Structure 1
């Protein structure tokens, strides 16, 4: 039974790996430190929304055997609207992922530096972080091989490592279970925690995962009879990812008197309470979270660019490799020299804030087209859930854009 389950594991863990990056770790850390267990329910909401949208993306990929960006390109008949949609998607995903890649690699570096200290290489007059280069090389090798099965196994191993690391850290904090259950099932809204709730949902329901999932499922499954495996894979992986995020929040809630502004501070803050072991597990988890996202972000950008521009989505083609190499090299350079691309990241946040409602809306429209999906189009219940999530992500999009421009 276990062997059969592992055989049918698909892109789900890769989707989980993509949304649990250093940004998610940091957001969950701050949520736990500032609000304790009271925002765990926001992660439950995020998990439900992610499962609903990712299941749609997976179903579209298997039934149509096309990526989401390919379907968008083919279904928008108006030339001006098609060009506008392609520009928005390319801007948000390709440019956005280039900006976030530096954060992914930096997060993984933080995990290694907590274990081994800062390691710097001097090349001429330039100082480069050794760990940034090593992580870049590992990501390059896995992506260059271009074999989905090898990539899948490597990322699943890292996701399992990350999950155990954060789970053990949370257990070591010995949380109050009654307070945890209360935080899970009783929503807590206030003016102080609204932006944190938005951040928790926004860091879990991410646009590029919808593109990544639709593209990857057709690498794994070719038949509509495989939909049941894809659904199980999606649910298990997203729930696992959500549990990991909750474990980070629970761990952070144990810190009472320590100044925390990032995931690295969380490791330091746990040391006085639980010794080096908690810091060790957390550092391993942070490393795994960073390197998995550092691999999936360039991969997603390459799939999106290929679909939007009508290129082959074969992982071994020159154009496909050209896109992910561009994202990866920028990420390594920005991370290694400590460059913070604030303006690019702000642009990426605005573009993603606009893109998520647009992509969610388009996904719902496509999922109701019999011409594309036949009998596998959305049911009434799926549409109800889908439209409820669309309203939520529209609200999140407006809020994130206002936040970037300091209106809230």
Structure 2
């Protein structure tokens, strides 16, 4: 039975790996430190929302055997809307992922430095973090292989490592289980917690995962009979990812101080209370989170550009490799030299904020088209859940734009 389960693992763990990056670790850490267990329900809501949208994306990929960006390019007939949609997607996913890649690599570096210490190289007046080069090199090697099965196995192993690391960290802190269950299933919203709730949902319901899932699922499955495997794969992986995020929040809730700003501060805060093991478990989890996101973000960007520009959807082509290679290279340069491309990151936040409701709306529209999905189009239940998530994504978009432009709407 276990052998069959492993045999039918699909791209679900890659989706989980993509949304549990260093940014998610930081947001969950701050949520736990500031609000204890009271915002765990936001993570439960995020998991449900992610499952609904990712199931639609997977179903679209299996039935059509096309990626989401390719469907958008062929289904939007009005030329102006098509150009605007493609420009928005390329800006948010390709440029956005290039901007965020430095953060993914830097997150992995922080975890590595906690375990083995920092290591810098001095060259032509510049200080280069060699851990960044190492993580960039690992990501490049894995993607260069261009083999979906190998990629899947490596990321399943990394996600498992990350899950165990954060789970053990949470267990070490010996949380009050009644308080944890109350926080997970009884919503509590205050004016102070609203932006944190939005951030928790925003780091889990990720636009580029919708593109990544639709493209990867057809590498694994090819017939409608495979839908049951895809659904099970999606549900298990996303729930596992949500539990990882909740474990980080639970661990952070045990620290009674406001001097925690990121996962490394959390590791240092846990050490005097729970010993060296807590620090190392957390550092291993952060390293795994950084390296998995450093692999999936460039991969998603390459699939998106291929679909938008009508390239052959093949992981072995030079064009495909040049996209993910460029993104990793930029990430390594910015990370290793300690450069923070603030303007690019701000631009990426804006485009991603606009993109999520646009793509969620487009996905729901496409999933109701009999001409594309036949008997596998959305049911009423799918559309009700999808409609609720669309409203949430619009609120997320407004909150992102509010944060970037300081509109003081909240």
Shorter-chain TM-score above 0.5: yes
* Structure 1 residue matching 2:127: 3-state secondary structure: strand
Matching residue of 2:373: 373
Q: 2: CA distance between counterparts of 1:113 and 1:145?
A: 27
* Contact persistence 1:27–1:200 (CA under 8 A): yes
Q: Deviations over 1:240-268 (max 9, x none)?
A: 00000000000000000361011111111
Matches within 5 A, 1:9-408: 9-257=9-257, 259-408=259-408
Q: CA deviation at 1:312?
A: 1.0
**Residues 29 and 252 in structure 1, CA contact (< 8 A), matched pair in contact too:** yes
CA RMSD of aligned residues (A): 0.6
Post-superposition shift, 1:313? 1.5
* TM-score, normalising length: structure 2: 0.99
CA contact (8 A) 1:258 1:269 kept: no
Aligned residues, how many? 408
Q: CA deviation at 1:123?
A: 2.6
SS in 2 for 1:169: helix
CA distance in 1 between partners of 2:60 and 2:122 (Å): 48
1:126: how far off?
2.3
Look up the match of 2:2: 2
Q: Which runs of 5+ in 1 are unaligned?
A: none
How far off is 1:103 after superposition?
0.3
C-alpha displacement of 1:144: 0.5
Are the aligned partners of 1:104 and 1:291 in contact in 2 as well (CA < 8 Å)? yes
CA contact (8 A) 1:25 1:245 kept: yes
Deviation at 1:80, TM superposition (A): 0.7
Could you list the per-position Cα deviations for residues 76-102 of structure 1 after superposition, in whole angstroms to 9, with x for gaps in the alignment?
Answer: 001111000000000000000001100
Q: Distance in 1 between matches of 2:324 and 2:341?
A: 18
Secondary structure at 1:190's aligned position in 2? coil
Conserved in 1, the CA contact under 8 Å of 2:33 and 2:257?
A: no
Q: TM-score, normalised by structure 1?
A: 0.99
| 1:125 CA displacement | 2.5
Given that residues 57 and 213 in structure 1 are in contact (C-alpha distance below 8 angstroms), is that contact kept between their aligned partners in structure 2?
Answer: yes
